Each structure stands twice: as C-alpha cells, then as structure tokens.
Amino acid sequence: MGTRIAVVGATGNVGRELLNILDERLFPADEVFAVASRRSIGKEVSYGDRTLKCHDLEQFDFSRVDVVLMSAGGKVSKEWSPKIAKAGAIVIDNSSQWRMDPDVPLVVPEVNADAVMGYNKKGIIANPNCSTAQLVVALKPIHDAVGIRRVVVATYQSVSGAGKEAMDELWNQTRGIFVNDEPAPQVFQKEIAFNLIPQIDVFMEDGYTKEEWKMRMETKKIVDESIELVATCVRVPVFVGHSEAVHIETIGHMSADECRALLRESPGLMVVDDPKEDLYITPKECVGEWATYISRIRHDPTTPNGLAFWCVSDNLRKGAALNAVQIAEELLNRGIIKPEKVDA
C-alpha cells in the first residue's frame, strides 16, 4: 500500500528532480502523476524506470491524490494551492508565495519538523528559499548548543536556481564567447558567463534584494526570531550547486573544533574539512548529493564568539526537491497521510 502523489510543474528543473528523488528514496507511492500546463499535455517525463505522461493542471482531479508537490512558480501556486487543498490534498509548495504567511508552516525537517503539524490551517506547507534551506540546517545545531546572535552570509548561487532558461543562457553565452558570437543577456540583468552578478531577485527600497530579505526573514521563522541576519546574494557562472560563506556570532563560546565535532553528528550535514590536505567541498562536487556540506570551519578573530565556515549544497536537491520530499516523508511518518487511504 502507498500514497498517491502529484508533481505540479513536472517538466521543470525542480519538477524532474522531485520525480528522481521520490524514486531514489523509495517513497511509498502507489501512483505518481506528472502535472503541468496545458502546453505540456502528453509530454513525457521519467520516474525511475517508468515514463509518465503529463496531465493538464486545469483538468486534473486533485481529489485523487494525498499530496501535491508544487513547483510551478508563485503565480500558479497562489491560484491553485488553495483549490488543491480544498480538494483534500496537502500541498508542499516550492515557491515564495506562502513562506511568510503566518498560517502556513515553513519547514526544513532537520530543523523544525514539528512545524508540519500546522498544515491543517490552510492545507499548505511551504518550502524555504534554496539558499535558506542549506544555511539553517547548519545553523540549527549551533543555535541549540550555544545560541546564535548574528549571521553574516555571502552566497554564490548557481544559475539553475533561476530555471532552465538561465542554465541555457550560461551555456549559450559561454559558447558564444569562444566563437565570437556572444548573445545578449535575456534572463539575467548582466552577462553571466565568466562574470558575477550581485543581484538575485528585485531590489527593495532599503537597497537589499528580495533574495537577501528572504534569507533574513525565513531564517527567523524557521530557527528563531531573535537571530539577526544580513546577506549579500550573488549569482555565479555555475550550473548547479549553491555555496555560502557564513560568519556567525554566538551567544555562548564554541571553539572551531567543538563546532566541527557538533556538525559532524548533526542530521543532514557532512563535514569535509582538513586544510592540510586541501579537503573542502566545491559546488561541482555536491551535485547529485543529498547532504549539505560544511568545510573550512574556523574561529572568526573579529569577535570573541565568532565562527566562520563554508557551506555547499545541490540547490535542486536540498534547496528544493529533496526538502519537499522530506516534508512528505514527515507527513507519512506522523500518520498525517495514511497509505491505507489508497485502497481502491
């Protein structure tokens, strides 16, 4: 016996990764439905060794499923998530639409799994921003141990976070440079090939971008409202994998060695950290992995209780698809969705 799941936005980067991870983690699903916009009707996507044909979002009967993994953007989620929840399915949404709604839990299972119990207010659970998800997995054990007062983070975010068109733009610009036929930017504000862009999402009145605001507010909601955070988010010419340079000021003292030992034993993390052997993780090395990798843990000498580290994760996995599937697993483990419901 298993559950019934629909993946909305199944033809996109994250949608395809959702299907991959459901299969890899042997999620107990009797039926998995690929759902997309009308223009994708009949288009085929892979689910393990099976091929699924896409259903039309506007025609699909969501009363047939227990859980919907929504990865179709904020506009679609705003319209469809309440409708789907009303039909009886629980929506796990990857967009930013519901994250700061006080009636919608924002969940990273390694950090605040109990929050899934708030699903019943609107029938929706939100997935955090990709850069937030990997960060809070690392912050949580430190905060529980000694408390965190302040976080300063600079991100190095891959183009896949902006979708398939962004990945195509990096590829086309890179190729164009070598053949002297460089295409103009279409997805990004500036050229991304061999370049860095210190803007992700729109600028706000205070000079920060919406992405930087998301990291601050989502960390507060997921971990602790008292944590202060400032971010600088940068798009880099990497296809997959987000990296972060993290500086934290703790309330109690923790040495670098104590931090290293703590994070090694913490869920969802892998510590690869030996400067003498040049051991650290790059974004290329984390692609396809489930863990969030921590390297270069060291004392920050500018403050008595300061720590710094390097944090890398596959943004299409932990930053989006994996986290959503882990939330679905949490619903299953807690009996909120029940396999016996599927008996035909």
Give the residue numbers marked as catalytic.
Answer: 130, 242
Place of tokens 């519901």: 98
Beta-bridge partner residues of 230: 152
Q: 343: buried, middle or exposed (CB in 10 Å: 19+, 13-18, 0-12)?
A: exposed
Pairwise CA distance, residues 291 & 264, whole Å? 12
Q: 51: buried, middle or exposed (CB in 10 Å: 19+, 13-18, 0-12)?
A: exposed
Place of tokens 């997935």: 127
Q: Which is nearest to 67 in space by CA: 108, 110, 127?
A: 127
Asked if residue 94 lies in contact with residue 324, where contact means CB atoms within 8 angstroms, the answer is yes
Backbone phi and psi for residue 48, each to the nearest 5 degrees, phi listed first:
65, -130
| Tokens describing residue 35 | 């759902």
Helix axes 130-146, 210-222, angle to 10 degrees: 40
